[in-house]
Amino acid sequence: MVSILFVADIVGSRGVQTALLALKRLREKGIHFDYCFANGENLKGGRGLDRNPARRLFENGVDALTTGNHVWDRQSDSELLDDPRVLRPANYPDGVRGKGFAVYNKSGLPPVTLINVQGRTFLFPIDCPFRTLDRVLDEPEVQDCPIRIVDVHAEATAEKQALGWYLAGRVTAVIGTHTHVQTADERLLDGGTGYITDVGMTGSHLGVIGAERSVSIERFLHQLPLPMQLAKGAEIFHAVLLSVNETNGQCESIHRISEPIDLP
């Protein structure tokens, strides 16, 4: 069996601290994982990539980062998309920096394919994630790797669920990201595909999906584009832990993790 941990959207510097401390505590509790992936599109103050937090995550056991629509919000660290450990959604047009999938290998372990796609509902126009996934799954290197994890970065629960059923029996797990609220619908779909609509958020739960609540309320009240401010306090670590049959790539169990973390 192969254990894979997928960490929910890490929001800002305190989210990074939360993730690092939580990973340490999981190991101390004897919770084993062979691979660790995380969504990192919110590392830089809540929007975009940030090289220093990414480096700290890689140094502490995160094997690769997926992203989403906010990866383009801060261009200063966009060169991270050239790092093979950082993915952007595969359904962006040809010529966009970075890549949407990769196969990761560790000594003594079977390889794992990680795929990143973005939904279209309530987001700006982008290539079809369904057809994009068909193309990615036809890639020879992906066909040769039975363990396939898909991060579906999308707004609409219906679109995520539809993609889950569309991929049932074809991938190991479909893990939803982006909305920052952990859903309680983890399950095994037909053909041994693990599924959750949204894995949640790693960051402060005193705000509104990670943002300072007074600013978020003001935005809704007056419809003003106020600058992003991140909430502090009541940090929580969200993730899912997958147990995978390394021979056929089927997910045998998927467990939600919700771990409160006290930060100074």
Establish whether 153 is a catalytic residue.
no
**Length reported for the chain:** 264
Token reading at 107: 């000594």
DSSP assignment letter at 211: B
Q: What is the pLDDT of residues 139-159, one digit of tens each?
A: 999 999 999 999 999 999 999
Residues facing residue 2 across a β-bridge = 244
For residue 189, the cross-strand partners are: 193
Q: Which residues of the chain have pLDDT under 70?
A: 75-76
The pLDDT of residue 71: 85
Instruction: Dump pLDDT digits (tens) for 22-63.
Output: 999 999 999 999 999 999 999 988 778 888 999 999 999 999
Among 23, 79, 17, 84, which Cα is nearest to 48's? Answer: 79
Beta partners for 177? 153
CA-to-CA distance for 40 and 53, rounded, in angstroms?
A: 9
Domain boundaries, the chain: 2-260
Query: What is the CATH number that goes with domain 2-260?
Result: 3.60.21.10
Q: Element (H or E) spanning 159, and its range?
A: helix 157-167
Asked if 234 and 206 count as a contact pair (C-beta separation under 8 A), the reply is yes
Per-residue model confidence (pLDDT) at position 75 = 65
In DSSP terms, which residues pair with 251 in a beta bridge? 244
pLDDT for 202: 97
pTM for this predicted structure: 0.95
Report the SS3 class of residue 246.
coil
Give bridge partners of residue 35 from the DSSP assignment: 4
